[in-house]
Structure 1
Amino acid sequence: MPVAAACPIAPTATERRRLKKAAWGHKTPHQLRLRAQIVLHAARGRSNARIARETGLHLDTVRRWRGRFSEHGLPGLNDLRRSGRPPAFTALQAAEVKALACRLPAETGVPLSRWSCPDLAREATACGIVTFVSASTVRRWLGRDALKPWQHQSWIFITEPDFKAKAQRVLDLYARTWQGEPLGDDEYVISADEKTSIQARCRCHPTLAPGQARAMRVNHTYGRGGALAYLAAYDVHHATVTGRCEARTGIVPFMNLVAQVMSHEPYASAKRVFWIVDNGSSHRGQKAAGRLTAAFPNAVMVHTPVHASWLNQVEIYFSVVQRKVVTPNDFTDLNEVADRIRSFEDRYNATAQPFQWKFTTSDLDDLLARLDRHTADHPEEPSATTAA
């Protein structure tokens, strides 16, 4: 019986370079390495029988991959697509599990606050959606649509009747305008608030400095040394902070901060100094604004909307203090806390630059428009336009 002639192999220069890389590369899979070696031997004009002897492979294996390369080139050396095992679950079952994940557990009578993948797997089995499904399968289904029912985010509706007007006044001040007029060089914008309950936690063992392949280590057990409040006034456009530590917050401590700022230049002789504050009890309402103006006629109090402390830039400074000074909390007493904060304040004032505030009145309009679109889809919720 005549033997079929071997397929002639004549790879291009590019194909030969890629074949050599596959045949001798350290990271090439073993099967692909052998197939590349078969083709390289064939390109030298060797017979299938000789290639089989030199590589230790079966003659049919050599004939198959030589023929595949001759017909399809380099892609022919890859495995053919396999049908694989039949799916154990239908697309409808996966969709029903996803729909279950998008419902609150209480709606199905499950005494949980939120779903986890094992809980969803058990509930899908109990509801008869599937006979059995593993938590990893449920996790893979949810991952395809980026569903994470075990996570949650909090949110709050705008309830301030004059939200837009109050927020716009604050944003205008950040842009150095007031009632449509630009601020002068002798007008300043101060952002003020209190950071409450800064504790002095004395660790029962000394904190260990970081070392090679080791993070700083802070002992978990501590003794309580009390707490204090840090009141700060941040000059928005000059990036200077004036602060003080008090035993507690209140009207008197806040007015002490105001006096500390307003009794020094350039604020003492300024034309106007705008004080941006939130609606905390120390400086809430027109009564607080009148008290400020009575004490310092050139001071103007401007309130942020209710539940909008994020508009107050001093909160950004407080976040810096929390990260760089307070955490991790390891102080022997409150005096050390106060000294550390005052020292950091001096250090900050020596190098700080104004925050790059990017939320403008245009962004505010976009935010309120998005809230309006959201409430249009949920008529039972209050309208942002009505609130603003």
Structure 2
Amino acid sequence: MEELLTVYERPYDLRNPLICLDEATKQLVEEITLPIAAQRGQPERVDYEYERKGTANLFMLCEPIVGTRYVKVTQRRTAIDYAHLLKELVDVFYPEAHTLTLVQDNLNIHSPSSLYKAFEPEEARRLLSRFEFFYTPKHGSWLNMAEIELSILSRQCLDQRIADFPTLQKHVRAWNEHRNQKGTWIDWRFTTQDARVKLHRLYPSINL
């Protein structure tokens, strides 16, 4: 935890951007009965019945200091999907960066081995050489700032019935562009000193 909090305190470095990564699942559902549109004095009426249409995965990448985020919607959440996302980070979004500092949780696909499942060894090694990985502690995924962005995405965009993959992509893309235009950045204030005070019960007791 302290190692990660120290990373958050680093000054901004264009050659070594800090990026937070997290994922979420969205259930796709289709209306069985079309909603009745809202009218004067009457809110929209939606029937409680619906039909499940599978799920989709959303990768959330955010650069909290700058105030940008990128959401990639995929059909699945596999090691291959994760590996191609890292390649996109290196070759498309940050081609000029020397090292990418990536914060993520301990999900099984968040492993260097995922790149070797997706690419030839030379390519996997090239991509890995550009990353510095930091992991949130077990039961401490709340320390990942990408969770904040996922929570906002859920409230502002995903809190509705979405029937299919293309529609989900459309809604998420619109939300992503709008939020980036606002340049909303995360004011992270939880420091190592705060942790030592507020989470003192997690530290071992030393008897002198």
Question: Which TM-score band (shorter chain)?
Answer: 0.7 to 0.9
Is residue 281 from structure 1 mapped to residue 108 from structure 2 by the alignment? yes
Q: Say whether the 8 Å CA contact 1:218–1:328 is kept in structure 2.
A: no
Q: Within 5 A, what are the aligned runs for 1:170-181?
A: 170-176=4-10
CA shift in 2, pair 1:365/1:240, >3 Å: same
Amino acid across the alignment from 2:18: V
* CA distance in 2 between partners of 1:208 and 1:313 (Å): 38
Query: Which residue is 1:325 aligned to?
Result: 157
Q: Say whether the 8 Å CA contact 1:293–1:299 is kept in structure 2.
A: no
Please provide the CA RMSD for this pair.
2.5
Amino acid across the alignment from 1:277: Q
Query: Which residue is 1:366 aligned to?
Result: 197
CA shift in 2, pair 1:168/1:215, >3 Å: farther
Query: Which residue is 1:185 aligned to?
Result: 14
Q: Say whether the 8 Å CA contact 1:195–1:230 is kept in structure 2.
A: yes
Cα deviation, residue 368, structure 1: 2.5
Q: Secondary structure at the match of 2:204?
A: helix
* CA distance in 1 between partners of 2:177 and 2:44 (Å): 25
Q: Secondary structure at the match of 2:92?
A: coil
Percent identity, aligned pairs only?
Answer: 22
Query: Which residue is 1:311 aligned to?
Result: 143
Is residue 302 from structure 1 mapped to residue 134 from structure 2 by the alignment? yes
Is residue 353 from structure 1 mapped to residue 184 from structure 2 by the alignment? yes
CA shift in 2, pair 1:368/1:248, >3 Å: same
Q: Say whether the 8 Å CA contact 1:293–1:300 is kept in structure 2.
A: no
Query: Which residue is 2:53 aligned to?
Result: 225
Cα deviation, residue 169, structure 1: 2.2
TM-score, normalised with respect to structure 1: 0.47
* CA distance in 1 between partners of 2:103 and 2:147 (Å): 11
CA shift in 2, pair 1:211/1:355, >3 Å: farther
Is residue 245 from structure 1 mapped to residue 76 from structure 2 by the alignment? no
Q: 1:195 aligns with which of 24, 27, 35?
A: 24
Gaps of 5+ in 2: none
* CA distance in 2 between partners of 1:294 and 1:336 (Å): 35
* CA distance in 2 between partners of 1:186 and 1:242 (Å): 19
Q: Within 5 A, what are the aligned runs for 1:68-79?
A: none
The structure carrying a bigger helix percent of its residues is: 1
Q: Say whether the 8 Å CA contact 1:191–1:234 is kept in structure 2.
A: yes
Cα deviation, residue 255, structure 1: 1.2
Is residue 342 from structure 1 mapped to residue 173 from structure 2 by the alignment? yes
Bigger relative contact order, structure 1 or 2, given CA contacts below 8 A and separation 6+? 2
Larger Rg: 1 or 2?
1
Cα distance per residue 1:91-146 (max 9 Å; x no partner): xxxxxxxxxxxxxxxxxxxxxxxxxxxxxxxxxxxxxxxxxxxxxxxxxxxxxxxx
Q: Secondary structure at the match of 1:262?
A: helix
* CA distance in 1 between partners of 2:33 and 2:189 (Å): 44
* CA distance in 1 between partners of 2:131 and 2:27 (Å): 32
Query: Which residue is 1:3 aligned to?
Result: none
Q: 2:63 aligns with which of 231, 235, 242?
A: 235
Q: 2:85 aligns with which of 247, 257, 273?
A: 257
* CA distance in 2 between partners of 1:201 and 1:320 (Å): 21
Amino acid across the alignment from 1:328: Q
Q: Secondary structure at the match of 2:53?
A: strand
CA shift in 2, pair 1:209/1:187, >3 Å: farther
Q: Say whether the 8 Å CA contact 1:228–1:246 is kept in structure 2.
A: yes
* CA distance in 2 between partners of 1:337 and 1:239 (Å): 23
Q: Secondary structure at the match of 2:100?
A: strand
* CA distance in 2 between partners of 1:264 and 1:333 (Å): 27
Amino acid across the alignment from 1:364: A
Cα deviation, residue 224, structure 1: 1.4
Q: Say whether the 8 Å CA contact 1:251–1:282 is kept in structure 2.
A: yes
